[in-house]
Amino acid sequence: MHIPDNYLSPATCGTLAIAMAPIWTVAVLKVKVQIKQHRETLPMLGIAAALAFLIMMFNLPIPGGTTAHAVGGTLLAVLIGPWAACLALTVTLLLQALLFGDGGILAFGANAFNMAFIMPFVGYACYRLGQKLHHEKIGLAIGAYLGINTAALVAGIELGLQPLLAHTASGAPLYCPYGLNIAVPAMLAAHLLVAGWVELVFTLLVYQFVQKVAPTNLYQTTPKTSQRPWLYLLGGMALLTPLGLLASNTAWGEWSPSELKHLLVQQHVGSTVPQGMAHGFHFQALFSDYAIAGLPVSVGYILSALTAILIFLLLIRGLQHDQSTFKN
Amino acid sequence: MTNQPSKTDLPTWLQTPNQPITKRHRQPFWARNQRHLQALLVRLAQPAPAIPATRWQLAPHIKLLRLGLLLLLIALINNGLFLWGLALLLGAQLLILAPSQLRRFLRSWLFSSLMAVIIVLPTYWLNGPATLLWFGFKTSLILANAQYYRATTNFQDLLTGLKTLHCPDVFIMTLAIAITYLRMLGNYLLQTMEALSLRTVAPAKHPYRLIGALFGNLYLKSYTYALALYAAMEARGFNGHYAKPAAKPTRWRDYLSLSPYVALMALLIFWRN
Amino acid sequence: MPLMTLEQLSYNYPNTQGLDHLDLTIQTGEFVCLLGPNGSGKSTLLRILSGLATASTGTYRFNDQAITADYLRDATKRQQLHQQIGLVFQNTDVQLFNPSVTEEVAFGPRQLGLSTAEVTQRVTDCLALTDCTELRERVPYQLSGGEKKRVALASVLALNPSVLLLDEPLNGLTIAAQQQLLTLLSRLQAAGKTIIMASHNFQQVQAVGQRFIIFNSAHQIDADVAGSVLATQPERQAQLMTL
Ligand SMILES: Nc1ncnc2c1ncn2[C@@H]1O[C@H](COP(=O)(O)OP(=O)(O)O)[C@@H](O)[C@H]1O
Ligand SMILES: [Mg+2]
């Protein structure tokens, strides 16, 4: 699940890292609240990061003689809370990338997005849902399975988009060479069939043990306090979204139908046009889609970015208004 | 000596020798994990990697910046000549490494590059040899640079570098705690597995239940560590802020060493605009 | 035939030495005390004797069988060795991993293929011997240090090993509990078990030890004296008191 370097284009990596920024900010705010009640949460972040590291390096036996390893995202979310888990897993991933060569350094944001955000939160949501329906173990099991598979799906999509997003003039992929039609099924098959089950059994057994031995050590949800952090998250995302336009040579969803068809045909048929090594920088197409005739590229980009920011600010304004009327 | 219930009041079973168990079985799941953990602990216990030639020693944060810039450049550039140049630069740096370090570098670099290339091998039939070669070349160059950073940087340097780059204190502290407790928890896990293996005299019937107990215990241990650590932090006057030791002044030479990469980056950005 | 024989045995940790050229013979049924300052190699020797680690150089023979890394690679042989040698760790925390004290003690016997009644019998006996009966429903993780030591001993005893290795078992016990434990060890010895106990406190073990192996801080054996001989050497006793 750790995506190595050079499988994702720098633009994708950057976008996902920037997308993580507001999530980390909210996580820090949320954890600060948690620390007020359980002061040991502060050192626990670091210790949980070490724990996650050990979980990820532990080989679990699977029938057939081989081994797999769990990630523990859902488990940590249930044990120390999803926001603390997000921070702890981030630290784990950073350590792995910088000091142990597990997962790329540029791809750190992408890996954090998949394994420190998607996985614990999907898992935790299922767990909470199960708790509400008085079947928390079933919720946890589903959460562990769904969490790792959602993360794998997202990783597969990130990888599979690369040939569409970044390719040479002749269509040869620059980064991960597999399209969506290969990357997504490959990631999903491995996780749906094996890793997901390993994660499920592992999570459930550790949870059972802790629940039996020291039920008070499980994360207790705090009563709902303020919705502000969510607004920060939304706001941050909104503000940063224009940067996302950077992520692709041709921006998301802006392929003209013929272009899309062309790309997809290339993907499936597989063009074997040999690619010269000295094609120069592939940056030439970067801003072309935003260049309005007669305007310099940079001005056009700034204008579109400003427009997007304004739209999102308006959206937030509207949301805020709605909430205050609800309260009254 | 075997049957003297009269002499002591111990239960009879405790006074009769065991029948040795002769059931055949496979290696238990922890054998391999013990090896991995031992390797990890040895790595963590090792003092700083020895780097000769202190004259060209870069400040930790500059090293970190340079690594980031380099990786970004390699990922962005699609010009064979430029990449060739960067590869030569790295090769020259490798010359300074001690021979044993160089061998270790080569071994892990070749291995990780091989792994990366194997995954994309099928692309040979999908996109042709050029894509495969190009991808393999760039990936192994990135891996080599990252590996070089790891080989020449210890954990303390990384922390100092991040601190100088104004990473939030809480984050630095968390990172420092993580690496310290990685060693302690790793040791704990290793010893638990040893104790487990000493008392496992027959094939484990439910290995997964044991694993659940193993990691459940590890979590509870982490929790007690966290409680103790917080108490210790408070006892030493910790008030939620992490004191910053004075940062080393950055020398002009450090910045100079970054300039080629910055220039290349600038060139890259303004190439077409 | 001696039970255990060590010849010129050394053990090196990745960056320090653990043991330096030991020569040692231990007979069946002995009660041996390993004495020495912190870091002198007592724990390391117990790890070697139990088969957790193997010699860097030199040989270790148990029942005339050389215990090497190759020999231990065979899972069956290793587990047969473990069945005969029990070890109570210095850090008992790591030894207790089950959700209750009863399960902890039953963990070993269950694997021996005993009937449920026999397992229950062993658990009851071991808990009674170590004075843990009232702890049976407790969670090991929440016990005090001394209680953990006793439960760990009970869980090792339940496997009925013929050799019992104990690493600083008296630490954290009250004086009364220390006396109780030493009496139990003597009874076990009388029943034919071999007992090897590490301690850094001579006073605590002076009364029971029949043979004292004294380590120095260079990880070597300084002296190997019988208890009866030691009783006639007041100056050495005084020296051991200040370890
Ligand atoms: N896991 C280890 N890694 C490295 N060195 C160790 C380890 N365990 C013990 N040592 C070293 O080996 C020597 C002997 O230690 P040990 O056998 O634990 O002593 P004792 O039990 O007599 O206090 C000491 O110098 C100690 O520092
Ligand atoms: Mg010791």
Domains (ranges, CATH) in chain C? 4-240 (3.40.50.300)
Residue A320: the pLDDT is 47
Task: Kindly state whether A131 is in contact with chain B, defined as any CB-CB distance less than 8 angstroms.
Answer: no
Residue C238: the pLDDT is 84
Q: Is C145 exposed, middle or buried, given 0-12, 13-18 or 19+ CB atoms closer than 10 A? A: exposed
Ligand nearest to the CA of C171: 2
**Which residue in C117, C58, A102, C93 sits closest to B150, CA to CA?**
A102
The number of angstroms, rounded, from the C-alpha of A190 to the middle of its chain's C-alpha atoms is: 18
Question: Higher-confidence residue: B52 or B168?
Answer: B168
- Give the DSSP H/E element, type plus range, for residue B145: helix B129-152
**Which residue in C45, C39, C135, C44 sits closest to C96, CA to CA?**
C135
By the 8 A CB rule, do C161 and C86 touch?
yes
Give the integer Cα–Cα distance in Å for C44 and A240.
Answer: 57
Identify the CATH number of the domain defined by range A10-323: 1.10.1760.20
| Ligand 1 pocket residues where CB is under 6 Å | C 13, 16, 18, 36, 38-44
> Max CA-CA distance within chain A?
71
Give the integer Cα–Cα distance in Å for A208 and B223.
Answer: 16
Give the residues across from C7 on adjacent strands. C59
Structure token digits, residue C102 = 């009863």
Interface contact B192-C94, CB threshold 8 A: yes
Q: Which amino acid does the sequence have at A288?
A: S
Residue A66: the pLDDT is 75
Collect all residues of chain B within an 8 Å Cβ-Cβ radius of residue C151: none
Collect all residues of chain B within an 8 Å Cβ-Cβ radius of residue A284: 272
Residue of A50, A174, A277 with shortest CB distance to B181? A50
Residue C204: the pLDDT is 86
Give the integer Cα–Cα distance in Å for C85 and C70.
Answer: 19
Does some domain include residue B168? Answer: yes
Residue A29: the pLDDT is 87
**Which residue in A18, A90, A2 sits closest to A243, CA to CA?**
A18
Interface contact C97-B192, CB threshold 8 A: yes
Q: Is the dihedral of CA C102, C107, C108, C113 positive or negative?
A: positive
Q: What is the model's pTM?
A: 0.82
Collect all residues of chain B within an 8 Å Cβ-Cβ radius of residue A297: 273
Ligand nearest to the CA of C47: 1
Closest protein CA for atom 14 of ligand 1: C41
**Which residue in C215, C187, C222 sits closest to C199, CA to CA?**
C215
> First vs last Cα of chain A: how many Å apart?
47
Q: Give the count of Cβ contacts less than 8 A between chain A and C.
A: 9
Q: Which residues, including other chains, have CB under 8 Å from residue A90's CB and lie 6 or more apart?
A: A20, A24, A112, A116
Residue C218: the pLDDT is 92
Residue of C75, C97, C108 with shortest CB distance to B214? C97
Give the integer Cα–Cα distance in Å for B86 and B74.
Answer: 8
* Closest ligand 1 atom to C46 CA: 17
Residue A255: the pLDDT is 41
- Please give the distance, rounded to the nearest whole angstrom, from the Cα atom of residue C115 to the centre of ligand 1: 41
Ligand nearest to the CA of C220: 1
Residues of chain C with pLDDT > 90, as a percent, come to 62
**Residue in the block written with tokens 């035939």:** C1
Task: Kindly state whether C111 is in contact with chain B, defined as any CB-CB distance less than 8 angstroms.
Answer: yes
Interface contact C141-A209, CB threshold 8 A: no
Residue A321: the pLDDT is 41
Q: Which residues, including other chains, have CB under 8 Å from residue A29's CB and lie 6 or more apart?
A: A229, A232
Residue B253: the pLDDT is 72
Does some domain include residue B86? Answer: yes
Closest protein CA for atom 4 of ligand 1: C13
3-state helix/strand/coil string of A178-240: CCHHHHHHHHHHHHHHHHHHHHHHHHHHHHHHHHHHCHHHCCCCCCCCCCHHHHHHHHHHHHH
Q: Which residues, including other chains, have CB under 8 Å from residue A123's CB and lie 6 or more apart?
A: A73, A74, A75, A77, A78, A140, A143, A144, A146, A147, A148, A203
Does some domain include residue B179? Answer: yes
Q: Tell me the mean pLDDT in the region B137-156.
A: 88
Residue B259: the pLDDT is 78
Cα distances (Å, whole numbers) of residue A316 to A232, A322, B241: 10, 10, 33
Q: Tell me the mean pLDDT in the region C226-231.
A: 85
Does some domain include residue B81? Answer: yes
By the 8 A CB rule, do B146 and B92 touch?
no
| pLDDT tens across the length of chain A (328 residues) | 889 888 898 888 988 998 898 899 899 888 888 888 888 888 899 999 999 999 999 988 887 777 788 999 999 999 999 999 999 999 999 999 988 888 889 999 999 999 999 999 999 999 999 999 988 899 999 999 999 999 999 999 999 888 888 777 777 788 888 888 888 998 899 899 889 999 999 999 999 999 988 888 788 765 554 455 555 555 555 455 444 444 444 333 334 444 444 544 444 443 333 333 333 333 333 333 433 344 444 444 455 555 555 555 554 444 444 433 333 3
Closest protein CA for atom 27 of ligand 1: C39
Give the integer Cα–Cα distance in Å for C154 and C160.
Answer: 10
Closest protein CA for atom 24 of ligand 1: C39
- Please give the distance, rounded to the nearest whole angstrom, from the Cα atom of residue C53 to the centre of ligand 1: 13
Residue A253: the pLDDT is 36
Task: Note down the domain range covering B146.
Answer: 57-198+211-233+257-272
The one-character DSSP state at B10 is S
Please give the residue of chain B at the shortest CA–CA distance from A72: B215
Interface contact A212-C142, CB threshold 8 A: no
Give the integer Cα–Cα distance in Å for A6 and A8.
Answer: 5
By the 8 A CB rule, do C46 and C87 touch?
yes
Interface contact A45-B174, CB threshold 8 A: yes
Give the integer Cα–Cα distance in Å for C127 and C125.
Answer: 6
pLDDT digits (tens, 9 = 90+) for C145-184: 889 999 999 999 999 999 999 999 998 888 888 998 999 9
Neighbours of chain A (3+ CB pairs under 8 A): B, C
Task: Kindly state whether B272 is in contact with chain C, defined as any CB-CB distance less than 8 angstroms.
Answer: no
CA of A279 vs chain B CAs: smallest distance (Å): 6
Structure token digits, residue A120 = 């614990």
- Please give the distance, rounded to the nearest whole angstrom, from the Cα atom of residue C37 to the centre of ligand 2: 9
Structure token digits, residue A149 = 């598979």
Residue C65: the pLDDT is 93
Domain ranges of chain A: 10-323
Q: Is the dihedral of CA B61, B152, A17, A141 positive or negative?
A: negative
Residue C122: the pLDDT is 92
Cα distances (Å, whole numbers) of residue B7 to B3, B13, B226, C154, C181: 9, 14, 50, 21, 18
Does some domain include residue B73? Answer: yes
Ligand nearest to the CA of C37: 1
By the 8 A CB rule, do A126 and A207 touch?
no
Question: Is residue B164's pLDDT more than 50?
Answer: yes
Number of domains in chain B: 1
The number of angstroms, rounded, from the C-alpha of B247 to the middle of its chain's C-alpha atoms is: 25
Question: Higher-confidence residue: B142 or B134?
Answer: B142
Structure token digits, residue B151 = 């080989």
Give the integer Cα–Cα distance in Å for A263 and B249.
Answer: 52
Question: Higher-confidence residue: B88 or C45?
Answer: C45
Q: Which residues, including other chains, have CB under 8 Å from residue A20's CB and lie 6 or more apart?
A: A90, A109, A112, A113, A116, A117
- Give the DSSP H/E element, type plus range, for residue C10: strand C4-12
Cα distances (Å, whole numbers) of residue A120 to A30, A70, A116: 15, 13, 6
Does some domain include residue B8? Answer: no
Task: Kindly state whether B186 is in contact with chain C, defined as any CB-CB distance less than 8 angstroms.
Answer: no
Residues of chain B with pLDDT > 70, as a percent, come to 84
By the 8 A CB rule, do A234 and A319 touch?
yes
Does some domain include residue B1? Answer: no
By the 8 A CB rule, do C61 and C67 touch?
yes
Task: Kindly state whether C120 is in contact with chain B, defined as any CB-CB distance less than 8 angstroms.
Answer: no
Question: Higher-confidence residue: A323 or B163?
Answer: B163
pLDDT digits (tens, 9 = 90+) for B5-30: 444 678 888 888 877 777 666 677 78
Give the integer Cα–Cα distance in Å for A261 and A264.
Answer: 5
Q: Is the dihedral of CA B176, B178, B184, B187 positive or negative?
A: negative
Interface contact C108-B199, CB threshold 8 A: yes
Residue A179: the pLDDT is 84
Query: Which of B89-93, B202-206, C58-62 has the least mean pLDDT?
Result: B202-206
Structure token digits, residue C215 = 């380590």
Residue A323: the pLDDT is 39
Cα distances (Å, whole numbers) of residue C30 to A94, C164, C191: 54, 11, 11
Residue C6: the pLDDT is 95
pLDDT digits (tens, 9 = 90+) for C53-76: 999 999 999 999 999 999 988 888
pLDDT digits (tens, 9 = 90+) for B61-85: 888 888 988 898 888 887 778 888 8
